[in-house]
Every structure is written in C-alpha cells, then in structure tokens.
Amino acid sequence: MPPRRNRTLPVFIIAATCTMSFVVPGCLERTDQGQGATPSKQPPVNQPVEPVEPVKTSQPPQAPDLPQVPDPPATTEKPATVEPSKPAPAEQAYEIHLQSGFDGKPVTVKVDGKQIYTGSPETDYTIGLADTIRGMAQSPSLELVVEVPSKRVLSTLTIDLAKGKLIGINVGKGKLDYRQSNDFQYE
C-alpha cells in the first residue's frame, strides 16, 4: 500500500494596497472595489487543527466550609394587601371668646386634654370681651375645660362645632355660662 498523503490545498491570500481580501471556503468573497460579493470558486480546504491548551487563571481562595442551612419551607400565605389610606380628618377652626366676668385673675383653658391658654384676662366692658383664643380641631367636636381658680370654678363641656364655631364663655356666680354661635357682635 502506498503511504497516505495529507491532502491539503493551498490557500491564496490576495493583498491590495490598502485592504486585504480573504477567501474562506463556503463564504462569499468581497472585493476591495466595493462591487458586491461573489461566491467563492475555491474548493473547500481541510487543514488539520492543532489542539489548544486551556489557559490557566488563578482562582480566588476558597471560603471555609460553612454549615449548610436548608431553605425555609414554602408558605402558602397570601401576600399582604395594602389598604388605601383614609383621608386625614378635615381640621375645623374654632374661636373661644372669654367675654364678661373676667377680672384679671389666672385662667386656664384646655381643649381635648391639651392646655391651649393660660393668662389673666380682664373684661373690657365697653365691648364685653376679655380675650380671644383661636385653634384648629381635628374632629367636629371637642372637649373644653376651663378653670378660674379665683372663682373656684372648673367646668368641662363637650362642644359640637356644627352648632357654631365661636364659643363664648362668661363668668357668673360660681359657674361659667357658655354660648355658641357663628357670629358674635361686639360694640
């Protein structure tokens, strides 16, 4: 038997002044003149492929062995639902008018448990007013506590602001008188 010969065909490389064209079997050939592509007329080339050694890269140091924690069991709980937030209650303006009977002695006024006024009002009898306290309520009603220690008076009253935004307070004999309106006239 005759010795077997490696059948390889030559590959031609065509060089131009600025560009090069390569002929690859089974592909289209492109000319440097930009005239389009034409099918290659070269017979297929079978060349042996040399084995390539893999490139070795350095590996980061391994972490110490940690105990394996099993995944938690799957739950069938429904996801939390987000409820639309409720609108904040509309603030309601109010005015407390300390009217007649105030003689310059200490007075304390609380609304819904918060002290909003401490003073020594004195009634101007030409108009019938000693002092005015303005505030904003978080609800349509409020709890009003008025203390006049010199008269030994402590009074608590629940006020419905729908009946009037103005609350008039008058000191009488051992008691407080309240009036509610949307308009007080002072002359």
Does 107 lie in the same domain as 43? no
Instruction: Please count the CA atoms within 13 angstroms of the CA of 69 that sit on its side-chain side.
Output: 2
Whether residue 71 is contained in a domain is answered as no
Cβ burial of 95 (10 Å; 0-12, 13-18, 19+) is middle
Residue 136 has pLDDT above 70, yes or no: yes
Q: Output 97 or 26, whichever has higher pLDDT.
A: 97
Does 174 lie in the same domain as 105? yes
**Number of folded domains that form the chain:** 2
- Read off the pLDDT of each residue in 152-180 and give the average, rounded to a whole number: 91
pLDDT, position 91? 77
pLDDT, position 73? 66
The domain of 167 spans: 92-181
Q: Output 162 or 61, whichever has higher pLDDT.
A: 162
Residue 14 has pLDDT above 80, yes or no: no
Residue 132 has pLDDT above 70, yes or no: yes
Does 115 lie in the same domain as 42? no
pLDDT, position 48? 62
CATH of the domain at 134: 2.60.40
52 bridge partner residues: none
Q: Are strands 166-171 and 92-98 parallel, antiparallel or unpaired?
A: parallel
CA distance to 115, 119, 120, 154, 164, per residue, from 98 (Å): 15, 11, 11, 15, 16
Whether residue 61 is contained in a domain is answered as no
Whether residue 86 is contained in a domain is answered as no
Rounded mean pLDDT of the chain? 75
Which of 22-31, 49-58, 112-121 is most confident?
112-121
In this prediction the pTM is 0.53
pLDDT in tens, 34-76: 455 455 555 555 666 666 666 666 666 666 666 676 776 666 6
- Read off the pLDDT of each residue in 18-42 and give the average, rounded to a whole number: 51
